[in-house]
């Protein structure tokens, strides 16, 4: 019985500020991707969420159907993950691996002829990129590329998420005395699914290789669970913080391993841009993002105080700018914005001639020229501390029992809403 573990957060998201606040998804159906495989490329899977412990002579393999990789190309490198730093698995000490390549098959679950072997010793934890001593020439037969544990002590195998199973990794094979498809969960249950291994191959077709990842983004309705793009966010309550969701997609053609930097800002109305995030690292060096996948942010919160202090007037824009340290062939989609506006029938922040005084105040405040309006006083935590349903022309409000600090006065009259800050001093 193999010991199965979820990966520790430290392995997955070390230093990845943005990745920790996002959920990874495959590209939505119909989403444009970069298609250009007339070049060298990496084939396989490197996303991971879990691991289990292997024993001596255990193997994991990528089974590649005939014709998937063009005949006449060559396999030059094999990449997999090695680590001996597992607190829950002190028996994991293996450093010696044997790379094996089989040609053809002997039925559904047996490889064909062993055509290549190479022993490799890992000297440091992390991604192991192994150059084959002799590149393996791809023919017309099925290929199995396997990694065997050669020491007599434990090793680990990283596994990806079921959502991360791409078409070219639907055949992960596993050997622990006999070969079989590796699946996770109870057979017949909804949780019974293929888990791809952390294993990828460098395919050389002689045209050269430069890693290329086309980043693209768009905004979504914060309240919706689907991935329908929006161009405008309507804000109904002026004194609420603004929540926005945006997506960051790697359209390919490669896994992005260099760092991605994000700037999130508010722009418009002649003001200096308000920087919510200023060129901050997303975390791709710790958690590479495969081609055809992306992140949707759980929440970007822009505080009411920031918007109010900047003197924002509707409409304005929230924008995301992406800077990738690797090769991004299309920079035109690295800047994208969403408009923040008021719905029809709602006016702007100010009500003509309305005034709140004194400021700072001690025992009482007055609201002028708000006759008939609802006046509400909030503390900085959003709690209602005073309220008048229908104000007089010069409405007084007792604040003698309020503690010293900052408060927000909200005046609503029909379709007009205004807010003012006041300070209570003692």
Same fold, 213-341 and 355-424: yes
* Cα distance between residue 413 and residue 371, in whole Å: 9
Q: Classify residue 1 by its DSSP letter.
A: -
CATH superfamily, domain 213-341, is Immunoglobulins (2.60.40.10)
Spatial separation of the C-alpha atoms in residues 267 and 300, rounded to whole Å: 16
pLDDT band at 386 (very low <50, low <70, confident <90, very high): very high
**pLDDT tens-place string over residues 314-343:** 678 888 899 999 889 889 889 988 887 765
Q: 40-204: what fold?
A: Jelly Rolls (2.60.120)
pLDDT in tens, 83-124: 887 767 777 788 889 999 999 988 777 899 999 999 999 998
Cis (ω within 30 of 0) for the bond into 253? yes
Q: What is the mean pLDDT of the chain?
A: 76
Residue spans per domain, the chain: 40-204, 213-341, 355-424
The pLDDT assigned to 207 comes to 74
- Tens digit of each residue's pLDDT (9 = 90 or more) over 26-78: 666 655 555 544 567 778 877 676 777 788 888 988 888 888 888 999 999 99
In angstroms, how far is CA 103 from the centroid of its own chain? Answer: 38
Prediction pTM value = 0.51
Structure token pair of residue 58: 């255990």
Distance CA 274, CA 351 (A): 25
355-424 adopts what CATH topology?
Answer: Immunoglobulin-like (2.60.40)
Per-residue model confidence as pLDDT tens digits over 142-164: 999 999 988 877 777 777 655 54
Q: Which residues contact 178 (CB under 8 A, 6 or more apart)?
A: none
Within its chain, how far is the Cα of 174 from the centroid?
30
């Amino acid at each position: 019985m193999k010991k199965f573990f979820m990966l520790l957060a430290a392995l997955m998201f070390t230093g990845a500020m943005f990745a920790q606040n996002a959920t990874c998804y495959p590209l939505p159906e119909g989403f444009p991707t970069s298609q250009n495989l007339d070049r060298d490329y990496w084939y396989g899977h490197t996303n991971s969420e879990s691991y289990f412990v292997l024993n001596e002579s255990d193997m994991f393999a990528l089974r590649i159907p005939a014709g998937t990789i063009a005949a006449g190309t060559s396999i030059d490198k094999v990449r997999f993950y090695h680590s001996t730093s597992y607190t829950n698995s002190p028996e994991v000490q293996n450093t010696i691996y044997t790379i094996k390549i089989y040609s053809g098959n002997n039925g559904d679950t047996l490889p064909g002829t062993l055509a290549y072997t190479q022993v490799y010793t890992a000297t440091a934890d992390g991604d192991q990129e192994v150059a084959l001593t002799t590149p393996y020439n791809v023919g017309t037969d099925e290929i199995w590329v396997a990694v065997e544990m050669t020491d007599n002590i434990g090793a680990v195998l990283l596994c990806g998420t079921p959502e991360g199973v791409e078409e070219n990794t639907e055949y992960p094979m596993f050997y622990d005395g006999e070969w079989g498809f590796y699946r996770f969960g109870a057979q017949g249950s909804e949780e019974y699914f293929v888990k791809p291994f952390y294993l990828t191959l460098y395919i050389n077709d002689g045209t050269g290789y430069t890693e290329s990842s086309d980043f693209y983004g768009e905004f979504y309705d914060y309240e919706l669970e689907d991935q329908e793009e929006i161009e405008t966010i309507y804000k109904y309550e002026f004194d609420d913080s603004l929540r926005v969701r945006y997506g960051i997609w790697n359209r390919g053609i490669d896994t992005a391993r260099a760092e991605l930097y994000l700037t999130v800002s508010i722009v418009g109305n002649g003001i200096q841009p308000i920087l919510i995030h200023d060129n901050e690292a997303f975390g791709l060096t710790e958690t590479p993002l495969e081609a055809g996948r992306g992140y949707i942010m759980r929440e970007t919160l822009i505080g009411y105080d920031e918007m109010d202090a900047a003197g924002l007037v509707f409409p304005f824009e929230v924008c995301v700018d992406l800077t990738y340290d690797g090769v991004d062939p299309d920079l035109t989609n690295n800047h994208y914005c969403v408009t923040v506006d008021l719905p029809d029938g709602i006016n702007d922040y100010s009500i003509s001639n309305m005034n709140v005084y004194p400021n700072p105040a001690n025992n009482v405040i007055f609201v002028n020229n708000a006759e008939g309006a609802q006046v509400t006083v909030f503390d900085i935590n959003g709690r209602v501390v005073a309220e008048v349903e229908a104000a007089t022309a010069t409405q007084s409000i007792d604040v003698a029992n309020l503690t010293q600090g900052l408060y927000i006065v909200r005046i609503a009259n029909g379709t007009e809403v205004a807010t003012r800050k006041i300070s209570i001093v003692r």
